Amino acid sequence: MRQYITRRLLQMIPVLIGVSVIIFLIFQAAPGDALTGMMDPKMSYETKQKLRKQLHLDEPGIVQYKYWVQNVLKGDFGESFYFKQPVGKVMNTYIWNSFYLSLASFILSVLIAIPIGVISATRQYSFMDYFLLYLP
């Protein structure tokens, strides 16, 4: 069992890398960049260039990806443009809503699935078994 879990965890690594590359490429293909959402229209050209250099937006995409991965591995997800605070703090606030919603859906699905399974097992090949198993 331990070997199976280890193998599955190791298989997750290429999937996570692939997903991160795809997400990064999608954001690269979108019009504008990270600075576009942050900057004040009255900001001077020199300040924009300084911020662009600070955020590594003046470098090629592969170098930007490298910096992005390094920051994510350190736990630095950047700053939210909408909330004007660190993304980790925003995630911590809203992740609990997702957790409670998924917990409620899990409990509800278990409360529905177990009785259906018991009925299907005890009344095998009956009308109720077919009705419960093949609901649209």
pLDDT value, residue 109: 95
**How many Å apart are CA 35 and CA 30, to the nearest integer?**
13
Q: What is the CA radius of gyration of the chain?
A: 24
Q: How many helices (H) and strands (E) in the chain? A: 6, 0
pTM above 0.85?
no
pLDDT for residue 136:
62
Can you tell me whether residue 84 is helix, strand or coil?
coil
pLDDT of residue 41: 76
Low-confidence ranges of the chain (pLDDT < 70): 38-39, 136
d(CA 59, CA 40): 22
